[in-house]
Amino acid sequence: MSRAPHPLLAATLIATLIALVAAPRLTAAQPAPRDTALAARRDSIERALEAVAVVDRKIMVPMRDGVRMAADVYRPKNVAKAPVIFSRTPYNFNFWDVRNGTWRDMSTALDAVRRGYAYVEMNERGHFFSEGSYDILGAPRTDGYDAIAWLASQPWSNGKVGLIGCSSTAEWQMAVAALSPPGLAAIVPQGFGAGVGRVGPYVEQGNWYRGGAVQMLFIAWLYGEQNQVRPMMPPSATQAERILASKLFDLAPQMPPVDWSQALRHLPEMDIISAVGGPRGIFADSMPGLATGGAMIRRTPNDSAWYRGGLFHDDMRIDTPGLWFMSWYDVSVGPNLATYNHVRKTASPAVANEQYAVIAPTLHCGYKRATEHTVVGERDVGDARLDYDALTFGWFDHFLKGEDNRLLDTLPKVRYYTMGLNRWQTAPTWPPPNAKPLTLYLASGGKANTLDGDGRLTPAAPSADRPDGFTYDPMNPVPSHGGNVCCTGNAVQGGALDQREMERRDDILVYTSDPLKEGTEVSGPVEVTLFVSSDAKDTDFTVKLLDVYPDGRAYNLDETIQRARYREGYDKQVWMTPGQVYKVTLGPLNTSNYFDAGHRIRVEVSSSNFPRFDRNLNTGGRNYDEATGVVAHNGVHHSRKYPSSVTLTVIPGTRRM
């Protein structure tokens, strides 16, 4: 739990800080920038802000339980009552950062103020100057509601609040919007999947799981975020004292660097953070006083704790206009799309018509990094630029200022980027209404192992079952190579990478179609059904979808996994029996990709994709507290009796320009 300093120490701390700030050699006007250009830019933005904005930093906003959240407010000088753009985050937004000589770029705040908005940033509970103990998505429903209500009631506010942010600054938006806090007028969630719990076919619980396997990104992320013991300002500190203190230090933890490519291999899994010297916290420890109870790694996919926090689930209803941003190589594009469709289906008719989506061909939160030649991993997907500022400010102008700017008359319900075709397209729904299913079946002579095997994708299921077998050793898992990833440090490079070197492994089954006679657009969900067997009680099955170029390059598009024990649902665990064949339906993959004439469609099947997903140790045990695994001999069956298949969503008639 967080600890406030002793009152005597607190008073001494404040006195010391005031003295230090007053000292001529340590004034805030003399930061330690990395270079003069950086210092000049920082000073330029600060002067520009002071010219147009009332700057009010380190305000402490009380929540309903008395805990206070720290906020910085920038509001235009010449506007009596301004609409509010609100960004709530666990990350550091301190304008001064004396620890490493860098600073917070406030260009976004400056742009917002110049356009007539108040721009407000607030730290989540338990981070930096905000009080309380951090519980990932544990308390933000009430905290978010209270913060929005406070902003809407301020004398300088016009009563309308819009939310914006990507990743952790977006993930809290949906569940809070479902509460309909007073003043909330519009939301702009971007890369928001870690706020999605259970929606449609996805039971990921905020990107913690996929198919019942743990997505290991949060282990690396929580290492630097779950600090429960941290320095805090005394409650008696004044706003002026907090501002002075923020010029000397910003409370950012200076975490020792970790080689996550090695650290994530540690067993048992629940000890990974402690093994690298990380702090106790909600990853593996039960922390008293937290809304969700902590110990995330101990939860099953349908644990009741997931439904007590701030995740958005499909029993909730959002009745707020939304501009939703997603990307094809994000960790959670499937749940994101399912959430968008759920909101359109369940909102009141008028608000359902005010839901819009943009799906870019980038990595997590990489929208504005698109260029004339947007390279994602190794694949150049063309000019994926879009004027995001015009979109978002036009959105807020309409819903927060009430301007009749005709934005909604020209904004397509879904704007999506098709890779391979390398252009933006539009549709009234997702998937596009003219989409058709195309089912291809797995087939082989029983030797689909490796790129050189005989695995094929065919228009009809083979008559006889010649299963493909492979050995899955959890101590030698298939390494993650590219993919739809985020936040794993140096452990995984995201994006589209040529998979041919990986496909030399004997524990990867490779199924490839004949060269396509004409170009084919696949835009929408990709559903995979496997008929499998194993000599282990429990094991995993992984799938990748790839675009194979005529020269052999094989670029991954999306990937998924299913833990066999959850094949009949996430509310129970059902073991496998040697010799039996089981039907396993994997969570849908998603993409928009144009397979040009001469290209081939490929599917890889294995039992690991590590450390994108954690290793199944194949014992039937709890997995997270085990250090020893067993080798599994797994099989994929394909025949009329066992029609293992992949069903693509095809858009007829697409042509290159």
Predicted confidence at residue 290, as pLDDT, reads 67
Distance between CA atoms of residues 71 and 81, nearest Å: 19
Query: Are residue 496 and residue 551 in the same domain, yes or no?
Result: yes
31 plus 134 within the same structural domain:
yes
The count of domains in the chain is 2
Q: Is 521 helix (H, G, I), strand (E, B) or coil?
A: strand
pTM of the model: 0.93
The angle that helices 107-114 and 388-399 make with each other, rounded to 10 degrees, is: 50
Residues 180 and 133 in one domain: yes
Weakest mean pLDDT among 90-99, 171-180, 334-343, 394-403: 90-99
Same domain for 373 and 460? no
Does some domain include residue 637? yes
User: Contact 380/362 with Cβ under 8 angstroms?
Assistant: no
pLDDT of residue 10: 40
Least confident stretch, 120-134, 146-160, 411-425, 619-633: 120-134
Q: What pLDDT, on the 0 to 100 scale, is given for residue 8?
A: 34
pLDDT at residue 378, as a whole number: 98
CATH assignment of the domain containing 535: 2.60.120.260
Please report the sign of the dihedral spanned by the C-alpha atoms of residue 387, residue 389, residue 392, residue 395.
Answer: negative
Higher pLDDT, 36 or 501: 501
Predicted confidence (pLDDT) per residue in 116-152, tens digit: 999 999 999 999 999 998 888 767 799 999 999 999 9
Q: How confident is the model at residue 272 (pLDDT cuts 50, 70, 90)?
A: very high
Residue 9 pLDDT > 70, yes or no? no
Give mean pLDDT, residues 484-495. Answer: 93
- Cα–Cα distances in Å, from 631 out to 163, 169, 504? 49, 41, 20
Identify whether 219 is part of a domain. Answer: no
Residue 360 lies in a domain: yes
In a domain, 226, yes or no: no
Q: Give the helix/strand (H/E) hosting 282.
A: none
Residue 168 is part of a domain; what is its CATH number? 3.40.50.1820
Overall average pLDDT of the 73-86 stretch: 97
Asked if residue 453 and residue 420 are part of one domain, the reply reads no
- Provide the 10 A C-beta neighbour count for residue 552: 10
- At position 510, the amino acid (one-letter code) is V
Determine the pLDDT at residue 96: 72
Quote the pLDDT of residue 26: 35
* Same-domain status, 20 and 160: yes
Residues above pLDDT 70, as percent of the chain:
92
Residue after which a domain boundary falls, among 404, 427, 450: 427
In this structure, is residue 303 part of a structural domain? no
Task: Indicate the length of the chain as a whole number.
Answer: 657
| DSSP per residue, 317-357 | ---S-EEEEEEEESTTHHHHHHHHHHHHHHS-HHHHTTEEE
Looking at 410, 427, 444, which one is the last position of a domain?
427
> What angle (nearest 5°) sits at the alpha carbon of residue 205, between those of residues 199 and 211?
80
Task: Categorize the per-residue pLDDT at 110 as very low, low, confident or very high, splitting at 50, 70 and 90.
Answer: very high
**What is the Cα Rg of the chain in Å?**
26
404 and 443 co-located in one domain: no
Per the structure, the complete domain to which residue 102 belongs is given by 7-195+234-251+312-427
Q: What pLDDT does 16 receive? A: 39
What tokens appear for 291 in the block? 């809304």
**227 pLDDT band (50/70/90 cuts)?**
confident
**Among candidate residues 427, 452, 483, the one where a domain is terminated:** 427
Q: In Å, how far are 180, 369, 380, 412 from 385, measured between CA atoms?
A: 33, 8, 13, 17
Q: Which amino acid is at 410?
A: T
Q: What is the pLDDT of residue 103?
A: 60
On whether residue 284 sits in a domain, the answer given is no
235: pLDDT strictly greater than 50: yes
Residue 381 in this model has a pLDDT that exceeds 50: yes
Torsion of CA 572, 578, 581, 582, to 10 degrees: 10
Whether 145 and 21 have beta carbons less than 8 Å apart is answered as no
**Helix, strand, or coil (residue 634):** strand
Q: Which of 114-123, 210-219, 294-303, 457-466 has the lowest mean pLDDT?
A: 294-303
The pLDDT of residue 228: 75
**Res 15 pLDDT > 50:** no
pLDDT, average across residues 144-163:
98
The tens digit of pLDDT for each residue in 165-213 reads 999 999 999 999 999 999 999 999 999 999 999 999 999 999 999 999 9
- Please state which of the ranges 101-105, 270-274, 573-577, 600-604 shows the lowest mean pLDDT: 101-105
Residues 372 and 453 in one domain: no
- Banded model confidence at residue 431, pLDDT cuts 50, 70, 90: very high
Q: What is the pLDDT of residues 246-259, one digit of tens each?
A: 888 878 888 899 99
DSSP state of 115: T
In sign, the C-alpha dihedral spanning 437, 442, 448, 449 is positive
Give the mean pLDDT of the chain: 92
Q: CA triplet 438, 444, 448: central angle to 5 degrees?
A: 105
% pLDDT > 90, the chain? 82
Place of tokens 């994006």: 495
What is the pLDDT, as a whole number, of residue 138? 67
- 8-state DSSP, 515: P
In a domain, 188, yes or no: yes
